[in-house]
Amino acid sequence: MNEHLRALLLAVVVVNTVLALTTFAIWFERKFAGRMQSRLGPTRVGPFGLLQPVADAFKLMQKESIRPRQADRVLFELAPLLGATCALGAAAVVPLAPGVAPAQLDLGLLFVLAIGAVTVLPIFIAGWSSNNKFALLGGMRAIAQSISYEVPLLLAALVPIVLTGSMDLSEIVRQQAEGRWLAVWPFFLGLPAFAIFLLAMLAESNRIPFDIPEAESELVAGVTTEYTGMKFALFYLAEYAHTLIASALAAALFLGGWDGPIAPGLHWLLLKTFVLFGFIYWVRWSLLRFRSDQLLSICWRWLVPAGVALVAGAGAWVAWGPTP
Amino acid sequence: MTVDIAFWVAAAAMVISALFVVRSANLVHAVLWLAVTLLGTAVVFALLDAPFLAGVQVLTYVGGVVTLMVFGVMLTQRHDGSVASASNVQSLRGAAAAALLFTLLLVALLRSDLPSSAESLAPDTAELARTLLDEHLIAFEVLSLLLLAALVGAVALARRGDDERGASGLPRARPRARGEAE
């Protein structure tokens, strides 16, 4: 029983840490966006507006919880919960420090990719059960986008698997800590794979410039159109948590995870995660939305062939490249 | 002990959700129940010490196949927006066929000499890869070729439909999606 209790405690700690980081990430984005647009961002609540996410949470909790009469009752209520569960589940295997990960799985990367593949279902359920044209269109677009970008994402994730010969995230990071980061050497394989991974992750998390599923100027708010209060907040949290965990994963796969001099591993992981997170928001606030056909053409004409070539290249590198 | 309880919970969830798959009048509900059934299969794989199979099951079936089916259901909606309902007209004959298949599989399984405990199997991922891509490489490649041929065939069929019918009322910006609807 002790073992189960420990697992439960660990889960509570990890989920709450991710949620706390996520609220901070929302503050970070608002400040960041403000600076990019020559504004100050939130300043009123707490020092530097640091308590703004708390105020937002209280505001959302007070809102009335509305369910459209024609909505599919069970699925409508279930979708936000499933969405948050899928987004947070991936946090379980991110290696935090040498030998430390919430759950040590031999197939950790496969676990993350499997959860990532399921993440689109809650979005679709939300879109369909709302019984609203805009929500439905948003759900359709989310699925079209997600099944397309699943392919380059898997191909890009295969490159570190082939290069390190392991699907255990801790092992992948350990090998990078002992040798070189995969984005540094072999850079001609690591860097493009890193770029494809980031792009596909961006697309999977429905962020600008890949945000056609919620395109607020066309679809009101896409799948979240009918959601209010905490149910909306759960979607919002899930989206940010997904981006945050995706950044941590990219850092673990290509940038050596917890590897770094002097400071403890966790600090390095957080630093890398937030640099990547900042980069994603830099892109988000700089670019415009792609059209659906552009989106699919980028995926199938460029990312998928490049991904296949990279996997083949990684195989060749392992077979005939110089031994480390 | 824990494994036993987990197995029976997963098994019960699979059977119940499978019943809902064939009994629900709404196609979208049926597909979502199917997702539950497939997740149950993944849990059983995981309990049998086959984590790789469990992961791939979730990745391809729940993540891929169910998503594609949902996509298909959505695109075959009637144009007034209502969802095409699943008919249960053939349910008796369907039940008979299912019972027959079940008996057949049960007899085959009981007569086979497959090991009944997980410990004796438990191949790790590397072993699995060697078996698939070394021992059975030809069969594996032929299978991939077959799937590719099916894919090309599906696209060709969908394309031929395009020329005859022209715009089918679906969004123009997504030609690939239209192909999947046929």
**pLDDT one-digit tens code per residue, A223-270:** 777 777 778 888 888 888 888 888 888 888 888 877 777 777 788 888
Both B32 and B94 in one domain: the answer is yes
Both B133 and B95 in one domain: the answer is no
Both B48 and B109 in one domain: the answer is yes
Q: For residue A117, give the nearest of B63, B71, B124 by CB distance.
A: B63
Which residues are within 8 A (CB) of B122 and not within 5 positions of it... i.e. 6 or more apart? Answer: B49, B50
* Contacts with B70 from chain A: Cβ below 8 Å: 121, 124, 143
Which residues are within 8 A (CB) of A200 and not within 5 positions of it... i.e. 6 or more apart? Answer: A149, A150, A152, A153, A156, A303
> Given CB atoms, is A196 within the 8 Å cutoff of chain B?
no
B:28-67 residues touching chain A, CB 8 A cutoff: 28, 32, 35, 51-52, 55-56, 58-59, 62-64, 66-67
Both B135 and B104 in one domain: the answer is no
Specify the pLDDT at position B97: 92
Alpha carbon distance B95, B113 (integer Å):
29
Both B133 and B161 in one domain: the answer is yes
As a whole number, the mean pLDDT across chain A is 81
Both B1 and B70 in one domain: the answer is yes
**Maximum mean pLDDT: which of A174-183, A250-259, A277-286, A312-321:** A312-321
Both B58 and B28 in one domain: the answer is yes
Q: Which of B92, B122, B152 is the last residue of a domain?
A: B122
Helix (H, G, I), strand (E, B), or coil: what is residue A170?
Answer: helix
Q: Are B155 and B149 in contact (CB under 8 A)?
A: no
Please give the DSSP secondary-structure letter assigned to residue B61.
I
Both B117 and B143 in one domain: the answer is no
Beta bridge partners of A97: A100
Q: Which of B122, B141, B158 is the last residue of a domain?
A: B122
Cα separation values, A110 from A80, A87, A161, A180, A227, Å? 24, 15, 10, 23, 32
Q: Residue B19 is part of which domain span?
A: 1-122
Both B133 and B113 in one domain: the answer is no
Both B36 and B110 in one domain: the answer is yes
Q: If we measure between CA atoms, which residue out of A192, A158, A163 comes closest to residue A179?
A: A163
Q: For residue A144, give the nearest of B64, B124, B177 by CB distance.
A: B177
Model pLDDT for residues A161-205, shown as the tens digit of each residue: 888 888 888 888 888 878 777 777 787 888 888 889 888 888 777
Task: Give the CATH number for residue B69.
Answer: 1.20.120.1200
Domain count, chain B: 2
Both B58 and B97 in one domain: the answer is yes
Q: Are A237 and A22 in contact (CB under 8 A)?
A: yes
The full DSSP string for A5-56 is HHHHHHHHHHHHHHHHHHHHHHHHHHHHHHHHTT-----SSSGGGTTHHHHH
Considering the entire predicted model, what is its pTM?
Answer: 0.78
The residue to which tokens 């790790």 are assigned: B124
- Note whether A144 contacts B125, CB cutoff 8 Å: no
Both B101 and B133 in one domain: the answer is no
pLDDT in tens, chain B (182 residues): 677 888 889 889 999 998 888 887 777 888 888 989 999 999 888 888 778 888 888 888 888 888 888 877 777 665 445 555 666 677 788 889 989 999 999 999 888 877 666 555 666 777 888 888 888 889 989 999 999 999 999 888 888 766 555 444 444 444 444 444 43
